[in-house]
Structure 1
Amino acid sequence: MRLLHTSDWHVGRTFHGRDLLREQEAVLGGLADLVDTHRVDVVVVAGDLYDRAVPAAEAIAACTRVLARLAAAGAAIVITPGNHDSAARLGAFAQFAEAGGLHLRTTAADLDRPVLLRDAHGPVAVYGIPYLEPEPARHALGKPELRGHAGVLGEAMRRVGADLARQGNPRSVVLAHAFVTGGEATDSERTIAVGGVPHVPASTFDGVDYVALGHLHGPQTLREDLRYSGSPLAYSFSEARQRKSVWIADLDAHGLAGVERVELPVPRELATARGTLDDLLVDPVHEALVDKFLSVELTDVVRPLDAMRRLRERFPHAVHLEWRPEGGERELRYREAVRGKSDEEVACCFVADLRGSEPTGAERALLREALAAVAAEGRR
């Protein structure tokens, strides 16, 4: 049996305010081509199908089209919710969807009820463990004594192991959305550290043939049988150097036979640039950045006015901007800076500290007018 492991689609997510829905659908829809060319039997999505618990109608429509393409390509589909998803909404109509080959495992009660698939060698049990937030999960599992992510996931895997034993230990796959010790995070994952340590040990998942992990956005291998697929698109500049991919895992008669990494297309590359605004706008060396999502660090001694608008005249996909003046920003000690100064002097000092240059005469006049208006309002 051949399975395609993906996760963390985050359909509906934006990138520094830019809509990514078109890019997401293009990359995710292309998974259907992989199903066809690699003769994939089952696609597993290990959480965070959507970016929000209540996704926009456009995100739902795009996700529906992608899933329809995967089903039309001939793959069964197994999905579990992640910490961004609403498990209840994702699991709506699950029993009806199952008849069409879409298997949704969204509740703690169903985590040890596998999707049973068959190949020439017999059954393969695919278990979906939804994201288990420790506090509600320990009660849902009927084990109030459990503590933390390690506790509830340990109980989930104990139940999976017990079900496997009841079925005569067929070959098995587990989907889980978790932060496993040894994994490397990026800037785009939402923390799951609520009232305790977010990590769970890799040994939690011993005893199954393949574990398809979700939550961390970089593709990584913790063990041969324990992997993160990562997100299909980059969702932060900390992922700029990652090559996004999926895993294609083969199960033979004895278990895991091999895993292949397949890289995904990049709809728009990410890049960073550093320098003064004038240099960035004219230096031909930056021409290669024009079509990329761009994060810019400006080094001008004085903060340039209207910098993002001017940058976008050359770099239309500039989405992030920071001002870090050459030589470092001055340390601001406002208590000392305002002591003994008039309101006008304090306002002018604030402008100077914020921008790196003193206010002009016109700006000083505008500040005086604003302070006079505030004082007049206070006398009413």
Structure 2
Amino acid sequence: MGLRTIGGWLQEQHVQLHMGRWLLELDDARAEREFTSYDDVRGLAEGRFALYIGIALTLAYGVVDVLVLDELQLDVSLVRLAVVLLFACAVVVTGRAIWVGRHLQVSSVVLLTVVLLMLGTTLGRAADFPTEYLTTSCTVTLFGAIGLLRLRMHAVLVMAGVYSAVCLSLPGALQGVDALARNVAPTLGLAAIAVVIGFSLEKLRRTDYLRQREVEAEQARSDELLHNVLPAPIARRLRTEPGAIADSAPEVSVLFSDIVGFTPVSEALAPEELVQLLDTMFREFDELCEARGIEKIKTVGDAYMAVAGLPEPDPDHAASLAELALDMQRTLARLSPAWPSPIAMRIGIASGPVVAGVIGRRRFTYDLWGDTVNTASRMESHGRPHRIQVSAATHALLESRYTFSDPQVVDVKGKGPMTTYFLLGSNL
């Protein structure tokens, strides 16, 4: 989903916690579904640990039963064994049944209800346990489940009600005024404490979740900005590799383009209009580069620079740039009626080795160096309007698939006479 995750919604819609009817939830319905899914996945992962804890505590209580009753009773042992087997089965099911993860809250409520009934009502009928002993066992189970199974408020309220009903139905819990005073207030008080604990833990989890998504959103936004400045592989390296980033590429193609007569046009337009026209044109050029896997290097004024074969190798780099150049000509012809006067473009392409790297510490940029870059620049500056001039190296890579003009010798500044060609179109 990219930035359109929970973190993105936090920034765009100001999603916050609210407490409607004592049930925590997020303002945005989709964000709420994302959180509950995330919370249940974590709860499922932690649930197996909680079940193992339940098995250990049940076995420990089995030992304490002997001390409380002064003897080992078969019925009590069978109930404890049944609880252990129930927890063990739950461990197996949570690892294999997909529906448990999708309905974790309901599954937890069902499991805990059965366990509380067995630890309270069934044990109370199996032996003459003190009411406080059974209540303590149920309380430990309830509080442990709320913390370890990540129960949310719907489930917490249900379990608080089940807990109260089980504890108040124990033998002797409501027999006489003294028993009523001893058991009702503590039971309801512990149930209320359980609700408060469940509320606080869920609020803490939700707050932590939102903060985590905010961090992820900011990281994604930072990555997006970085990728707008640098190629994605270079951006990843910049985050992980210390020092300067520099690579040599033996075979790439470099393109330069420039608008002919741009200065008079710029003087005839308001700044906003000029920027808008350039932005429209360069946006379309960027889309053409992205569609063909070509890396835009930079724009300088009305000039545009791109490379094929970097940072990802492209065995057909020359053809990729040839198609880009032809597309750029067609794009310019389509957009030129919007300009105040007819415009033309010179395009130059050269192929060969280059050195590429990231320079600068602030406002850094990914750039290219080498004779191939200089040659491509000269192909553009010594070219003609509406024409695509290529070097002899580029021509050699494309001559079987593209149509070219006859060779011409151009006296290139700083390089002397060079044989060049004009790309006319594709043979396909």
Give the TM-score normalised by structure 2: 0.25
Greater percentage in helix: 2
Q: TM-score, normalised by structure 1?
A: 0.27
Counting strand residues as a fraction of each chain, which structure ranks higher?
A: 1
Max Rg structure: 2
